[in-house]
A and B are shown apart, each in its own frame.
Chain A
Amino acid sequence: MTILDLSWWQLALALLLVVVVAVISLRQRLGLERDLVVGTVRTIVQLYLVGLILAAVFNAARWYWVLLILVVMAAVATHAAVARLAKPIPGVYWIAAAALTISTAATLAYVIGVVVRPAPWWEPQYVIPIAGMILGNSMTSAALAGDRLQADLFTRRDEIEARLALGFSGREAVQPLVRAALRAAMIPTVNGMMTVGVVQLPGMMTGQILAGASPLTAIRYQIVVVFMLAVATALGSLLFVRLAVGRYLTPAHQLRRYLL
């Protein structure tokens, strides 16, 4: 099979699709034209920069360049995971960084070291996209879990203090909220496993097929990816929620109400 390389004028033709969106926005007075222009420019610039950097790292073929890319990706993911929290949690950057780094490192180590086993182990063609997918899912699940936890701590604060007043420890008193936050973070992933490949073809698998891989090779990778993302979701949200909920409790089993 051959890979069709897209030329500049082919990309320009694709840009016409965005023009359709712009026309819809103008006709329906959606007021999205400005954001659409910015989004289009950013899509082109960001992806080109990433492409140039990845090409350079692939060519250089050094493990430390791969590691540097992973660190930058983790930093951006950390920022994105905490950026949408409704209220600040003290030390949340470190909590998110720890949760994402540990969950990604553990998942990546297993997938690369035990399942896929590229040679050398840091082969950027495998490590970077796989790490990117893991980080992306950990990030989303940590953000979902954090959002739910924060909302529940506020609305269910009387229930927490009722448990504390009955002699529960701080951890015991917030346990139902931790459970609810973890479920909220994991349900989309588990539901996704039910319909994967039926409702839509996963992006990675689509990409591999477009790039010339046989669908049978592509689905094997996709199966690994689905399982890998499930564990990344679980680990990322579990670590984040466990660490974050601790910020709301004191050693004397008190709820820090002023943080809510």
Chain B
Amino acid sequence: MPKSSEPIFQVEHLSLAYPGRRGQPPAQILSDISVTVARGAALILVGPSGSGKSSLLRCLNRLEEPTAGGVRFDGRPITELDPRELRRRAALVLQTPVLFEGTVRENLMVHAPGVTLDASEARLCEMLGEVGLEPTLLDRDSTMLSGGEKQRVTIARALLRDPQALLLDEPTSALDPPNATLVVETICRLRDRRGLSIVAVTHAPELVRRLGGALLYLVKGHVQTYERLQAGSVMNERLQAFLAGTHP
């Protein structure tokens, strides 16, 4: 049995490459990444576009298969877990929220055939409450929601599966500032209340500052900087510049 002091994620010498097309060399996406995320802690992934941060996130719930090295979840190599179970326990929230046709209720209750999900009325309302949405939204058509509401519904949908970790892929970048703030607050509140571990790809300084934890700066698939953020600590200049958008 894994001990509870075990980190939630251990990434060990992970590399990822895509096979080349028609005689072209493989495209190297990630090279020799090692990082751990303690239970209940946060890891922020930053880097220019194409640096592999989303790919690293997707390796954590095994939407991508590393070409070398691997990932442990809760002490066990993820290749030993059923990917479907892993993905329920480490829930992914995408940059552009994906809602299916139908009402908010139908979207919350979406589940694979043969899987049981506790989706009582009370629980659905509770989940909406946790992300700061009104229960009256349940029967609203999902296409009628604002971007921020959609994103919070996808977070509520993930919560319904009782995840241990949230994987966030630029959760606020498609939102306007007021909605982005609401989503940031939702994420931070959930983390405090549920003790969720969080791995987030984000360029939102507000989210970085409030989540704290560790920060991994990727460039072209390599770790450029890895540092622990402490309350009030001064981030290294390059990272500050990067987050401020003034990085070359």
Contact = CB atoms under 8 A, between A and B. Distances in A.
A250 B94 contact: no
B62 A254 contact: yes
Contacts of A162: 94, 98, 154
A165 interface: yes
Contacts of A166: 87-88, 110-112, 157-158, 161
Interface stretch (A30-38, A101-109, A167-175): A167-175
Contacts of B62: 252, 254
Given A158-B96, A159-B100, A161-B94, A167 B88 contact: yes
A253 interface: yes
Contacts of A172: 112-113
A165 B167 CA distance: 10
Contact of A165 (B79, B91, B100, B111): B91
B98 A167 contact: no
A9 interface: no
A161 B63 contact: yes
B63 A167 contact: no
Interface string B79-91: 1000111011001
Interface size grouping (class) on chain B: 20 to 34
B63 A255 contact: yes
A258 to B, nearest CB: 4
Interface size class of A (residues with CB under 8 A): 10 to 19
Given A167-B111, A250-B65, A253-B83, A158 B18 contact: no
A166 B88 CA distance: 6
B192 to A, nearest CB: 24
A254 B87 contact: no
A164 interface: yes
Contacts of A167: 84-85, 87-88, 111-112, 115, 161
A169 B115 CA distance: 11
B67 to A, nearest CB: 12
Contacts of A168: 84, 112
